[in-house]
Amino acid sequence: MVQVTQLKIAVLDDYQGLSEPHFSKLDKSLFNVTTFKDTLLPYNHPETPEYAKDALVSRLEPFDVLCTMRERTPFPKELIGRLPNLKLLLSTGLRNKGLDLPAFKDRGIPVAGTVDKATVNQTGTNSTTQHCVTLILSLARNIAADDLAVKSGLWQTDVAMGVTGKTFGVVGLGRLGVSTAKIMHVAFGMNVIAWSTNLTQEAADEKAKAEGLPVGTFKAVSREELFSTADVLSVHIVLSDRSRGLINADDLSKMKKSALFINTSRGPLVVEKDLLDVLKKGGIRGCALDVFNLEPLPVDSEWRSTEWGRDGRSRVLLTPHMGYVEEGTLNAWYEQQADNIRRWQAGDALDNCDEIHPECTNCMRFSMKCDYLSASTEEQTSKSPGDDERQGKRFRQNEERKPATDIPTPTASDMESDYDQTPSSHIDPLLRNACIFDIQSLELLHHYMCHTSITLGDPQIFRDVIPPLGFKYECVMRMVLSITARHLTRLRPDQAGYYHRLAEDYAAAALPEVAAMLAQVNDDNSQALYYATVLISLSSFATDPSPGNILLVAAEEDEVSWWALMRGVKIVISTTGLKNIRKQSTAALLCGSSTWNEPQTSALSVTSLALQWEKPLAEIEELVGEVYAAEDSIHRPAFTHLKECYRKLFTASDEPKFDNEQMPSIIYGWLYELTEDFVLSIQRRDPVPLVLLGYYAVLLQQLEHHWFMEGWSLQVMNGVYALLEDGHRHFLTWPLEQVGSIWSGL
């Protein structure tokens, strides 16, 4: 008789004890389940002592499968390396920045997440927004203190703070920030102001329109104005290396003494000591927190032990990170985790293949190369080579070869470009003030001239025309150095963190100058400005995107979409004309072109889809016809152009009907000619434009022989698939099959 070895499963951080009914259904002869209802100190927290790290390893080491709850237990590389028995990790949700995904990939350990099936087809606000609004009202109306007073035999010991007509300030106008601001404006009559490093009034107006609100409902203001004028200030940004400690004593000191401070995002966004100091002195009326620097909150934490609301101290309302904790949600997550364990044991595909997976069975089934956020959970503090992790976000690129004809004209508001959205506080002072050419930058320039320039497009333009412009315009040179550093993150992965920081710093130093020049484009600066904006667009492709970035829309508040960055190119072209820019470039080449021989790229064969695209596109054409009237001027033209791109690229002959230089202009041209209304329909998650964008991913894949384009077709496809409701996902069957074949990189 063959004896079956039981797989050991640990369910971590199940505070409410909700997992048992779901995991008890697993075959007990195959699985032995242990549930932990507490959380040990995080392995990678700077205050965690070695003995606590060893205790965590001792708890986790015996198990084959670990089921985690969100980011309660982080898994950095060192911890993963100390778990020799680990074969599968199941998280909850579709984003977990506590996981070192490259380390899981190196170990060959699949990672899968869950979707919130309890609310996937519901309308209305999500649980985090509900919790945030509840905290605001509870703090403003003294609910907790009054409840305690009544139960203690007292009556009306204080007065409430009304919010109607007051100012609601939002740090970060992303999805959650918008939903909270909308409620506070519509339901309670509050005036809304917002700030983030990338927020413009134009972007704020677009977000308002997408919610059915009048333009001007959300007012973009400066950081100083936000903190000094808000009566209620709520934090809604994503935690990253750039946003960690974003809100500090200087910001908090500007707040009104009558103001309320709310944080339901992440504790480390705020310098905890600075916030404690302000509250102990009674610097503001009150504070409500659902998140903390260290979770669970230690028993001896000052947040617990201080007698808030007495002796001049501010009122403080605390909840234990409950923003997403709803019974239906948690039960759905545990059900999916248990089901994925059955699938994995049987050798079937795991559910919910998305950016959280290093390489899951769904991807292997479709021959897909998973694209996932590769930032480590551990902070990188070294400023020198030797960092072994790649950070940041990967964007895309735009090789601007579009003909000068039929180019759309940007509106006047486009002059308020997204290029002015980079915070100067994050620019290395040496890069802002000192001579641009030190040994570090000379190394980058040398690599650009010898290697990077010939990978970006026309080698003569990128090698012979652009660098001399950089000697006259520092923003051009900084973008040359930035994109070269991006290139080196790929070529030197052991130093990726170092080069990533260089790329970020050079770009941050360049953007203010570009923004200033965009406001006064003329014949003298148009060539430099054009190539600076092209380099910015190219560099954006080469930066790791957040999960959900689908070119037209960025997923995170501190990220700018490629569509927004492309406006700079449009402004220059509409002002001076591409013909004039090319004329200047030709003159520059005639003045002294180099005599190097550029490596020739072999012709690309794109005939593999020649006999396949007509039928699926005919189905999509029928869908467009059913949804949009014949006079529709937004989506029907977008489909017609998309179909024309397919016709040009995928021919029935053995030879392509175009050369390599024409391919980018054909593919990027579809994005270039999209209207603002089309992008707004993507933001609204309208199904038809999302399906069209999914089909565009197949075109995008044809550019993945460029190093900066690797993974973008799957990135867009994954993002579109996640946004579509179940009833429309079948329209993506054909493009999903095609995107599964990723072209090798340069």
**Tell me, what's the pLDDT at 368?**
36
**Tell me, what's the pLDDT at 598?**
41
Q: Are 79 and 57 in contact (CB under 8 A)?
A: yes
Half-sphere exposure of 660 (CA within 13 A, CB side): 13
Average pLDDT of span 90-113: 88
**Tell me, what's the pLDDT at 231?**
98
Which fold is adopted by the domain 127-318?
A: Rossmann fold (3.40.50)
Highest-scoring range by mean pLDDT, 22-26, 235-239, 565-569: 22-26
Cα torsion at 522, 524, 529, 530 (round to 10°)?
A: 90
Residue type, 332: A
Tokens read off for 17: 């004890």
CA-nearest of 653, 563, 664, 546 to 608 is 653
The better pLDDT of the pair 656, 480 is held by: 480
**Tell me, what's the pLDDT at 275?**
98
**Tell me, what's the pLDDT at 661?**
61
The better pLDDT of the pair 680, 429 is held by: 680
Q: What is the pLDDT of residues 531-544, one digit of tens each?
A: 888 898 888 888 87
Q: What is the pLDDT of residues 687-731, one digit of tens each?
A: 999 999 999 989 888 888 888 888 888 888 888 888 888 888 888
Confidence band, pLDDT 50/70/90 cuts, at residue 408: very low
List phi, psi (to 5°) of 722. -65, -30
Q: What is the share, in percent, of the chain residues with pLDDT greater than 90? A: 40
Supply the CATH classification number for the domain 7-118+327-365: 3.40.50.720
Q: Are 549 and 524 in contact (CB under 8 A)?
A: no
Highest-scoring range by mean pLDDT, 228-232, 566-570, 736-740: 228-232
Q: Are 683 and 210 in contact (CB under 8 A)?
A: yes
**Tell me, what's the pLDDT at 459?**
81
Q: What is the pLDDT of residues 160-213, one digit of tens each?
A: 999 999 999 999 998 899 999 999 999 999 999 999 988 899 889 988 998 899
Quick check: helix, strand or coil at residue 8? strand
The better pLDDT of the pair 268, 349 is held by: 268
**Tell me, what's the pLDDT at 560?**
56
Confidence band, pLDDT 50/70/90 cuts, at residue 585: low
pLDDT at 283 over 70: yes
Does pTM surpass 0.75? no
Mean pLDDT over all residues of the chain? 79
Confidence band, pLDDT 50/70/90 cuts, at residue 596: very low
Confidence band, pLDDT 50/70/90 cuts, at residue 409: very low
Taking CA atoms, 476 is separated from 253, 292, 473, 512, 527, in Å, by: 38, 42, 6, 12, 10
Confidence band, pLDDT 50/70/90 cuts, at residue 510: confident
Q: Is the peptide bond before 296 cis (omega within 30 degrees of 0)?
A: yes
Half-sphere exposure of 279 (CA within 13 A, CB side): 24
**Tell me, what's the pLDDT at 540?**
82
CA-nearest of 484, 542, 474 to 514 is 474
Q: Are 160 and 286 in contact (CB under 8 A)?
A: no
